[in-house]
């Protein structure tokens, strides 16, 4: 059963005429969803960017919300609700100008997903696009990053699948309700993502995958991420909409160069001409993000006080200095002789996510480097 607070957030998200930006303005004025839902027409009209016409729509719309039906579907589909004021709401997403009021989630969003990279591109990917998306996603997952994409055909699907094969985490952001499988052939994939990440939507259950939903969905993909990598994209592409959001949100934009005569490379090559960072491997991404990663690692360390909830068993601790016993132990196992990831996991007696997080930290600080085949050596 939902708490009254969760029910209020759900009802607010279901009310026509509000949306992310207006909802943010209303919350700044009334503080809680319950107060917004009880506010009079006159009080709502006084809020900036609302006005009497919108206020009337809100008052009329909130009376028609079928809350009971949504609650039944949420329970049936085992969906978790994460409202904007929750300590489990992703911090990077909360920082954008128009964060969703409520996230519908299947699976888990973990603290380590703070370190995410978005992989986006065309649904009509070439063989080259598939290879690059798989290689980059695998490399990023092996280095401890969470791969974020949109669950669509093509580049999105290849990126999710490759992250999972590397035993990494991945988040899929959908443009429909979580009770609708779109595209239908990804039903099995979404089930796998729930076990090693999360399937996320801001849209209530039963929402169809209408064309207009996807530009809004794309701002969440970039908002969850430290940077956005575009692999293949024509001139008119949803991936380029994600880039627009990334630029507005202050996220880094990366582009994989493509063939000059390829239709699906027109957008990516144009991004490079406009100043996007050229990417050939995950190391290119990490090198560019190094200053951001160091600051984020410090912020992340300071934020690790969250209690267990949403299935979070143990928070990943990424230290900014070698003052953590686990980090010291792992670093001590890495010498100038290459050692594999599996060997490190066995010798350190830590789980793969913990080891991957520490390895990422050590790489960012240029204490170790990764070799092909998931091998690591100390930098002298």
pLDDT tens for each residue of 67-89: 999 999 999 999 999 999 999 99
d(CA 299, CA 297): 5
d(CA 336, CA 183): 47
Supply the pTM of this predicted model.
Answer: 0.82
Is residue 138 domain-shared with residue 194, that is, in the same domain?
A: yes
Is residue 206 domain-shared with residue 340, that is, in the same domain?
A: no
Q: Do the domain assignments include residue 297?
A: no
Is residue 34 domain-shared with residue 103, that is, in the same domain?
A: no
d(CA 114, CA 178): 22
**Residue 303 — pLDDT band, cuts 50, 70, 90?**
low
Extract long-range pairs of 370-374: CB within 8 Å, 24+ residues apart: 370/142, 370/143, 371/338, 373/340, 374/142, 374/340, 374/341, 374/342
Instruction: Give the 3-state secondary structure of residue 192.
Output: helix
Is residue 98 domain-shared with residue 58, that is, in the same domain?
A: no
Q: Do the domain assignments include residue 304?
A: no
Across 4-37, b (16+ Cβ under 10 Å) vs e yields eebbbbbbbbbbebbbbebbbebbeebeebbebb
CB 25 within 8 A of CB 49: yes
- pLDDT in the model for residue 324: 67
**Count of the separate structural domains present in the chain:** 3
Q: Do the domain assignments include residue 292?
A: no
Domain boundary among 23, 44, 76: 76
Q: Which residues, at least 6 apart from 354, have a Cβ–Cβ distance to it below 8 Å?
A: 314, 316, 326
Is residue 335 domain-shared with residue 230, that is, in the same domain?
A: no
Is residue 240 domain-shared with residue 110, that is, in the same domain?
A: yes
Q: CA angle 289-361-311, nearest 5°? A: 100
CATH number of the domain where residue 66 is located: 1.10.150.20
Q: Do the domain assignments include residue 81?
A: no
pLDDT tens for each residue of 98-147: 999 999 999 999 988 999 999 999 999 999 999 999 999 999 998 889 99
Q: Do the domain assignments include residue 299?
A: no
Q: Do the domain assignments include residue 301?
A: no
CATH number of the domain where residue 344 is located: 1.10.10.10
Is residue 274 domain-shared with residue 347, that is, in the same domain?
A: no
Is residue 359 domain-shared with residue 260, that is, in the same domain?
A: no
Is residue 100 domain-shared with residue 224, that is, in the same domain?
A: yes
Q: Do the domain assignments include residue 248?
A: yes
Q: Do the domain assignments include residue 82?
A: no
Domain boundary among 264, 286, 308: 286
Q: Is the pLDDT of residue 297 over 80?
A: no
Closest by Cα among 155, 135, 137 to 234: 155
Is residue 138 domain-shared with residue 41, that is, in the same domain?
A: no
CATH number of the domain where residue 161 is located: 3.40.50.450
Is residue 200 domain-shared with residue 112, that is, in the same domain?
A: yes
Is residue 212 domain-shared with residue 266, that is, in the same domain?
A: yes
- pLDDT in the model for residue 310: 30
Domain interval for residue 23: 4-76
d(CA 62, CA 14): 8
d(CA 155, CA 219): 17
Domain boundary among 236, 265, 286: 286
Residues counted in the chain = 380
Q: Which residues, at least 6 apart from 313, have a Cβ–Cβ distance to it below 8 Å?
A: none
Extract long-range pairs of 77-82: CB within 8 Å, 24+ residues apart: 77/106, 77/178, 77/179, 77/205, 78/106, 79/104, 79/105, 79/106, 79/178, 79/205, 80/104, 80/105, 80/106, 80/310, 81/2, 81/6, 81/9, 81/10, 81/105, 82/109, 82/310
Q: Is the pLDDT of residue 317 over 50?
A: no
- pLDDT in the model for residue 221: 98
């Amino acid at each position: 059963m939902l708490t009254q607070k969760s029910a209020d957030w759900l009802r607010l998200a279901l009310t026509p005429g509000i949306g992310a930006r207006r909802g943010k303005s209303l919350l700044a004025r009334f503080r809680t969803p319950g107060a917004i839902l009880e506010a009079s027409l006159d009080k709502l009209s006084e809020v900036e960017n609302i006005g009497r016409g919108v206020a009337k729509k809100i008052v009329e719309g909130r009376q028609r919300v079928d809350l009971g039906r949504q609650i039944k579907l949420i329970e049936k589909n085992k969906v978790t609700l994460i409202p904007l004021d929750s300590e489990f709401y992703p911090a990077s997403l909360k920082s954008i100008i128009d964060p969703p009021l409520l996230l519908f989630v299947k699976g888990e969003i973990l603290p380590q997903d703070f370190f995410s990279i978005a992989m986006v591109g065309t649904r009509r990917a070439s063989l080259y696009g598939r290879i690059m998306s798989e290689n980059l996603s695998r490399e990023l997952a092996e280095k401890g990053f969470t791969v974020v994409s949109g669950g669509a055909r093509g580049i999105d699907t290849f990126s999710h699948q490759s992250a999972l094969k590397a035993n990494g985490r991945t988040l899929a952001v959908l443009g429909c309700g979580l009770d609708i499988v779109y595209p239908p052939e990804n039903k099995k994939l979404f089930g796998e993502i729930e076990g090693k990440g999360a399937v996320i939507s801001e849209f209530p259950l039963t929402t169809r995958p209408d064309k207009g939903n996807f530009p809004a969905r794309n701002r969440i993909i970039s908002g969850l991420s430290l940077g956005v990598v575009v692999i293949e994209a024509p001139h008119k592409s949803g991936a380029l909409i994600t880039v627009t959001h990334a630029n507005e949100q202050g996220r880094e934009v990366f582009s994989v160069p493509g063939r000059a005569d390829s239709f699906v490379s027109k957008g990516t090559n144009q991004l490079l001409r406009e100043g996007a960072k050229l990417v050939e491997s995950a190391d290119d991404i990490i090198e560019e993000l190094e200053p951001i990663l160091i600051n984020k690692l410090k912020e992340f360390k300071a934020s690790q006080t969250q209690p267990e909830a949403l299935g979070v068993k143990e928070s990943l601790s990424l230290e900014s200095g070698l003052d953590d016993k686990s980090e010291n132990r792992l670093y001590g196992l890495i010498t100038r002789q290459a050692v594999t990831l599996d060997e490190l996991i066995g010798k350190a007696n830590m789980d793969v996510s913990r080891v991957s997080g520490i390895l990422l930290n050590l790489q960012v600080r240029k204490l170790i480097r990764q070799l092909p085949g998931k091998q690591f050596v100390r930098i002298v």
